[in-house]
Amino acid sequence: MGFTYSINRDEIPKAHESYMFVANHTSMADIMLMLVTVKNPFVFVGKAELAKIPLFGFFYKRTCILVDRSSPKSRHAVFLRAQKRLQSGLSICIFPEGGVPEEHIELDEFQNGAFRLAINHQIPLVPITFADNKKRLSYTFFSGGPGIMRVKMHEFITTKGLGIEDTKPLKDETKEVILKQLQVFNPKVNS
């Protein structure tokens, strides 16, 4: 498709350990770039409504943990399914913005789910910043073009000893790490 990538890692995930990978969600390329960036086996947590897309939905619901964010029962079931996957040695990947923000928004509000899961399972949280995906392949048709997609895998954030009351501080810290990196990649990004 004319894209190349450049990945800078502050830390490298260890084989056979579980992690919570979180990244900003800006493009149709995010999922593919996540698969290139993270070498550990992992499963995505994604929106249940995407399973309705013909053909894509068939594979999507067999490879992802689906969540209906409007249903507390569904959100609770995600914790149980994630626990099974983590116990089997897999990691989890969530885009905490809960969807792709509008074109003019660089980083939308984060949802709590990824951070609660990481705390509940006491697994390291791995912030990842995708700098150029929106510029290369946005959700606006006929925009973007070939080039390099820069990725930064940040130092891991420990959740050891954290409780559910630490969800917001953990979420805020992670968002700040990603936002600061977006500002390094593109100084025009607002905070």
Domain range annotation of the chain: 3-185
| Residues pairing with 22 in the sheet | 94, 127
Q: What pLDDT is attached to residue 160?
A: 96
pLDDT-derived band at 138 (thresholds 50, 70, 90) equals: low
pLDDT-derived band at 190 (thresholds 50, 70, 90) equals: low
CB-count exposure of residue 166 (10 Å: 0-12, 13-18, 19+): middle
d(CA 33, CA 74): 27
Q: Say yes or no to pLDDT of 139 above 70.
A: no
Q: Say yes or no to pLDDT of 152 above 60.
A: yes
pLDDT-derived band at 25 (thresholds 50, 70, 90) equals: confident
8 near 152, Cβ under 8 Å? yes
Q: Tens digit of pLDDT for each residue in 83-123?
A: 888 888 899 999 998 766 566 677 889 999 899 999 999 99
Percent of the chain with pLDDT over 90: 45
Exposure string (b/e) for 59-78, b if CB count within 10 Å is 16 or more? Answer: ebeeebbbbeeeeeeebeeb
d(CA 64, CA 49): 12
Report the Cα 106 to chain-centroid distance in Å: 15
* Mean pLDDT score, 144-153: 83
* Mean pLDDT score, 45-59: 77
Which tokens belong to 71?
Answer: 């249903």
Taking the CB of residue 28, how many other CB atoms lie within 10 A of it?
Answer: 14
Q: Say yes or no to pLDDT of 169 above 60.
A: yes
Q: Global pTM?
A: 0.87
Q: Tens digit of pLDDT for each residue in 105-116?
A: 778 899 998 999
CATH code for 3-185? 3.40.1130.10
